[in-house]
Structure 1
Amino acid sequence: MLGLIWARQAGLDDPLRLRRAEATRRVLSLELNKDRDVERIHGSGINTLDIEPVEGRYMLSGGSDGVIVLYDLENLTRETSYTCKALCSVGRSHPDVHKFSVETVQWYPHDTGMFTSSSFDKTLKIWDTNTLKSADAFHFKETVYSHHMSPVATNHSLVAVGTKSPKVQLCDLKSGSFSHILQGKKYWQWLGPHVMNMFWQQEGSADGRVKLWDVRRASGCLSTLDQHNGEKSKASSEAANSAHTGRVNGLCYTNDGLHLLTTGTDDRMRLWNSFTGENTLVNYGKVCNESRKGLKFTISCGCDPEFAFVPYGSTIAVYTVFTGELITMLRGHYTAVNCCVFQPNFQELYSGSRDCNILAWIPALREPVPDDVSEKFLPQQHLNPAYEDAWSSSDDEG
């Protein structure tokens, strides 16, 4: 690390390299923070978490009790030990509270003044953060399992809603009405600016397929992911043209959008090329997955390599995304972990569980560097080879 700092100061190396190296070190040293608590508000399991992308300071949580809580993650006390306080909550006595379990909460991608929530009570609600009142609500005939907004779209304000019905509905926030419908299997989630993805069909009857959609073309999907990459001779009749042999209950794009991670109840996690739709065949081993609901996992940002944080029973498994190596298991919850979210500004991780707790995982403190360290101890191998001194005295010998 000292070599990277020296190279950056001397202008011999890319500053981004130092940033990635430090971010990677911090992620690899994540541990349960014993000095930071998150105020306990929920009376039942926590299903979903989301940190706003503007400042990375405020976090939403949604629970099986229908309660939504807004937290401030910043340490305003400047003390070593502190508690992340709940700024406000939509409790059971709130007039607009969800009647049943909240399955998904999401900040509006471009402004912290609004967030969305969906619930088993067959509604999608749009909230005004300042007044904590429901500004609009969309009602569905079937149970709502998930919803999502594109984090990068600027030309539209569509919210994709997945229900028990075999179709996905697109809600337009500008007009307050339904935009159009994509016909397909059950339970969907928005993945990108113009792409949809099928999760799983409920009640154990899923076919394990993952379909990619262009929302501008409602007539049919763009492609269906195949775990065998079209080699039908190696595929059984049941697994042919499917992403998993069980229900697909978790997915997440890498931050550059070039790859997609999916998890299924077949205890497998697969990495897909977003452009070609091919299974990259990365082996993550057995990824224990007994969840009957959506499993919300996350991927790091700004690291080299990138890491995936996946709920694994009562623990969180940390994998390298592109090699499949299991780095560590984060232990701290008492019961099954339902969700986790990554805070990229400070390389922190927050997780929610059925035990009603939200835990904060932060990088371990670095050991202080002695004052008597001189430049001769700096690791020169980190320098760009193009700037190394290749001069030799033998060049002057006749």
Structure 2
Amino acid sequence: MLSFLAERCRGTKHSSVLSVAEVTRRTYSLELSKNKDVQRIHMSSVNSLDLDPVDYRYLLSGGGDGVIAIYDVLTKPVVKEFTCPYLCGIGRSNESVHKRSVETVQWYPHDTGMFVSSSMDGKVKVWDTNALIPAEEFVINQAIYSHHISPIATQHCLIAVGSMSSKIKLCDLKTGSSTHILKGHKDAILSVQWSNKEEFLLASGSRDGKILLWDVRHASGCLKTLDRHNGEKRESISSVKTAHNGDVSGLCFTDEGLFLLSFGTDDRLRLWDIASGKNTLVNFGSVVNESGKSVKIACSTTSNPSAAFIPTVNDVDVYDLQNGEMVYDLKGHYHKVNCCVFHPHLQELYSGGNDSNILVWEPDLGRHPDKYEEEVEQQQQTTTNSPRVLAGPNATADAWSSDEDD
């Protein structure tokens, strides 16, 4: 560190090198917080978590008991050990509460005055945060596994909804209509995700093993069907299961929108290049996925290399997205983990599971000082004017395994 500061004073190293190295060190040194936890509100499973994208202060949770809760994760502690307080929510006594399990919750991307929830009761509800009453309600008439609002859209206000139906429904917040549907899957849709880069680009994952990319401006069908063999095995093109040999239960775009990470019940993670639609062939090994519903996975590309956070059985596994290596696993939950969300400013992770707990994972700032120094040096050597690539040619070629799909 002292050598870095000396070189910085001489102008031989850029300040961004230290910033990226520190974020990387924090991201790859998470541990269960000893001083910070989240107030326990849910009496059943915690199925979904979301941080508001405006201030990254308010944590939203949805549970198997139908309850929705809001917490303040930036509360200034008056003592060393403190609990992130429950601020408000929709409890069982609220007449508008969901009648069955809440599967997905999400803040409106531009304002914390509104959030959206979807449930197994077949309803999508748009909530006024201040009044805690529904401002709008969409009845899907099918058990809903996931929904998503585009984080960047300025020309539309569509909520994509994945349900037991094989059709994706698009609910328009402007008109209150849910008549627009996307046809292409053969079975229930477990996960939907809008791109972080293209506001009309939508990805969907289904129990039919497919991942489809859609341009919602076109009604003629999907743009691409992602193929794990990249077209090299002709029989896979006509096969139903083209992306995963099992259900596709988790999808997550990387922060810059160039790559899509998918998680299947074939115990595989796959990283897809969105521009080409190809599987990058990064080998993550076997990643256990026993979920019959949607799994909320998370990515962080502010570190170098980028990181993926994957709920797997009772743990959250942390993976290097460049070479597919599992760096470490986070143990703390007593039962299955369903969801996680990463705080990009604090480099903290929040996870929820069937044990009704929301756990906080924070950086261990005293871990791996030697490795940290190495990271700073590596950042200096690799920093160029060209954009950073998540999975380069070496990761694609060298990490490929012939038994990946067996």
Q: Secondary structure at the match of 1:121?
A: coil
Following the alignment from structure 2 to structure 1, what is the Cα–Cα distance between the partners of residues 359 and 381? 40
Quote the offset at 1:8 in angstroms.
3.8
8 A Cα contact 2:209 2:241, kept in partner: no
- Supply the AA of the counterpart residue of 1:337: V
Following the alignment from structure 1 to structure 2, what is the Cα–Cα distance between the partners of residues 175 and 122? 20
**CA separation of 1:271/1:385 partners in 2, compared to 1, >3 Å: closer, same or farther?**
closer
- 2:178 alignment counterpart: 178
- Give the count of matched residue pairs: 371
- 1:232 alignment counterpart: 233
Instruction: String of CA shifts for 1:34-69, please: whole Å, max 9, x gaps.
Output: 211110000000000000111111000000000000
Name which of 166, 191, 194 aligns with 2:194: 191
- Supply the AA of the counterpart residue of 2:203: N
- 1:215 alignment counterpart: 216
- 1:140 alignment counterpart: 140
- 2:372 alignment counterpart: none
Following the alignment from structure 2 to structure 1, what is the Cα–Cα distance between the partners of residues 10 and 347? 27
Q: Secondary structure at the match of 1:310?
A: strand
- Supply the AA of the counterpart residue of 2:157: S
Q: Secondary structure at the match of 1:199?
A: strand
Q: Secondary structure at the match of 2:334?
A: coil
8 A Cα contact 2:170 2:180, kept in partner: yes
**Where does the alignment leave 5 or more consecutive residues of structure 2 unmatched?**
370-375, 384-406
TM-score normalised per structure 1: 0.88
Instruction: String of CA shifts for 1:357-389, please: whole Å, max 9, x gaps.
Output: 00000001338x9xxxxxxxxx98976799xxx
Q: Secondary structure at the match of 1:23?
A: helix
**CA separation of 1:305/1:133 partners in 2, compared to 1, >3 Å: closer, same or farther?**
same
- 1:345 alignment counterpart: 345
Alignment of 1:21-170 (within 5 A): 21-170=21-170
- 1:257 alignment counterpart: 257
Following the alignment from structure 2 to structure 1, what is the Cα–Cα distance between the partners of residues 171 and 380? 52
Quote the offset at 1:180 in angstroms.
1.7
- Supply the AA of the counterpart residue of 2:209: G
**CA separation of 1:81/1:272 partners in 2, compared to 1, >3 Å: closer, same or farther?**
same
Quote the offset at 1:151 in angstroms.
0.6
- 2:305 alignment counterpart: 305
8 A Cα contact 1:182 1:219, kept in partner: no
**CA separation of 1:216/1:3 partners in 2, compared to 1, >3 Å: closer, same or farther?**
farther
Instruction: String of CA shifts for 1:48-91, please: whole Å, max 9, x gaps.
Output: 00001111110000000000000000132342110001001210
Quote the offset at 1:17 in angstroms.
1.7
TM-score normalised per structure 2: 0.87
- 1:267 alignment counterpart: 267
Of structures 1 and 2, the larger Rg is shown by 1
**CA separation of 1:299/1:209 partners in 2, compared to 1, >3 Å: closer, same or farther?**
same
Following the alignment from structure 1 to structure 2, what is the Cα–Cα distance between the partners of residues 3 and 175? 59
Q: Secondary structure at the match of 2:21?
A: helix
Instruction: String of CA shifts for 1:129-168, please: whole Å, max 9, x gaps.
Output: 1111111111112222111011111121111111222211
8 A Cα contact 2:47 2:103, kept in partner: yes
8 A Cα contact 1:270 1:281, kept in partner: yes
Q: CA RMSD for the aligned pairs?
A: 2.2
Between 1:4-13 and 1:162-171, the stretch displaced more is: 4-13
* Percentage of matched positions with identical amino acids: 51
